[in-house]
């Protein structure tokens, strides 16, 4: 018999096979942790500018395809025109952003994120929250 996903326990597993669910209070407490806030700030510092730059680049491609047909139709080498080069550069820039993000994440938040995850899994935040009561 299939289980309805809406009736499952929303508490995420602890990463150790799901034997002990992490308490919701630990997740709530983590959101106010200064290290978690700093992780989010670093993430947004990369994602927002990069997303805006990519969207501007893509919009340029779309607008040039729609309104700059003369320029986009210029043959560069043989049957390769500006439009084809722009299209290929869309893929190149996408992969480039993925590589940049990977390097950025490795340098700027992977270690802190691993520490925070370890604390959640070991219940360090739940213990700290109880001490604050």
Given this model, what pLDDT does residue 125 score?
A: 45
Given this model, what pLDDT does residue 74 score?
A: 93
Strands (E) across the chain are located at: 75-77, 80-81
Q: Quote the CA–CA distance of 129 and 133 in Å, as a whole number.
A: 7
Given this model, what pLDDT does residue 132 score?
A: 57
Residues (pLDDT < 50) of the chain are: 1-4, 6-7, 9-11, 14, 16, 19-20, 125
What is the model's pTM? 0.64
Tokens of 71: 């320029």
Given this model, what pLDDT does residue 53 score?
A: 95
Given this model, what pLDDT does residue 72 score?
A: 92
Given this model, what pLDDT does residue 23 score?
A: 61
Partners of 80 in the β-ladder? 77
Given this model, what pLDDT does residue 29 score?
A: 77
Count of CB atoms situated within 10 Å of the CB of 3: 7
* Distance from chain centroid for Cα 64: 29
Spell out the SS3 assignment of 11-37: CCCCCCCCCCCCCHHHHHHHHCCHHHH
């Amino acid at each position: 018999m299939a289980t309805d996903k809406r009736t499952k326990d929303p508490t995420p597993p602890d990463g150790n096979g799901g034997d002990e669910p992490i308490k919701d209070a630990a997740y709530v407490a983590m959101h106010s942790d200064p290290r978690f806030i700093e992780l989010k700030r670093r993430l947004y510092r990369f994602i927002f500018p990069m997303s805006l730059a990519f969207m501007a680049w893509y919009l340029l491609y779309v607008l040039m395809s729609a309104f700059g047909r003369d320029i986009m139709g210029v043959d560069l080498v043989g049957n390769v025109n500006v439009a084809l080069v722009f299209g290929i550069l869309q893929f190149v820039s996408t992969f480039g952003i993925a590589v940049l993000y990977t390097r950025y994440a490795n340098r700027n938040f992977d270690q802190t994120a691993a520490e925070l995850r370890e604390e959640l899994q070991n219940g360090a935040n739940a213990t700290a929250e109880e001490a604050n009561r």
